[in-house]
Amino acid sequence: MIIFPAIDIKGGECVRLLKGNFDKITKYNKSPLSQAEEFFNLGFKNIHIVDLDGAIKENPINTNIIKEIGKINKIKVQVGGGIRTLDHVKKLFDLGVDKVILGTAAINNIQFLKNSCNQFKNKIALSIDVRNGYIALSGWKNQTNILATKYSEKFKNINISRIIYTDINKDGTKTGPNLIETINFSNLIKIPTVISGGVASINDIIEIKKNNFKNIEGVIVGKAIYDGNINIKELSKII
């Protein structure tokens, strides 16, 4: 199982949001590059990055920072936020990104998702962000009436590398991940799925790892690291 430490970037800084609310933002002292280097030096080879400015402006913004992080030797970076065109996707891969995460544009336009997966084989991840089971788009500001389970029928036969399944109501709350919903979704689609949102302690990670859930590829950890609820050095020992 892959543990993905998360770096959310806004205004060139490391930040965390509460349930995706830009009015409830916490800034952290380390730069995104310094934070990525710390994660890598502790043994984490996979990092999850969200370009929050990109998500707002519907265009990747923090590409210079992403480029510098991508230069870290042997690091694998997955990046999402504001990616709307094949040119955006290619630009990120040219920066050294391992996987590009599509969300809003892919869900609004299934052909874009197909084209991206065909052109960049085994390199495209799909972000499924939900509130109470329903998909939210555009940096989580646009709440739809589309059930994630229903929408999954559209992409079952598309060669998606992985799914990032985020429970928005859990994100940044440190109340524990929504395992039941995420596991049920992963079993439905049979695509490697990453758990996102709500991780509160190292015990959450140990429990997920111990159970070796079918189709669960990894877990994203963010706010619990930054706030000190999870000791990053201890976490590195269970990679």
Catalytic residues: 8, 129
Q: How far apart are CA 130 and CA 133, in angstroms?
A: 5
Whether 66 contacts 72, CB under 8 Å: no
Tell me which residue of 189, 179, 181, 197 sits closest to 155, measured CA to CA: 189
DSSP 90-116: HHHHHTT-SEEEE-HHHHH-HHHHHHH
Across the chain, the runs of DSSP E, i.e. the strands, are 2-10, 13-18, 21-27, 46-51, 76-80, 99-102, 124-131, 134-137, 142-147, 162-167, 193-196, 216-221
Dig out the tokens for 213 from the structure: 């859930």
Q: How far apart are CA 82 and CA 4, in angstroms?
A: 20
Q: How far apart are CA 101 and CA 128, in angstroms?
A: 10
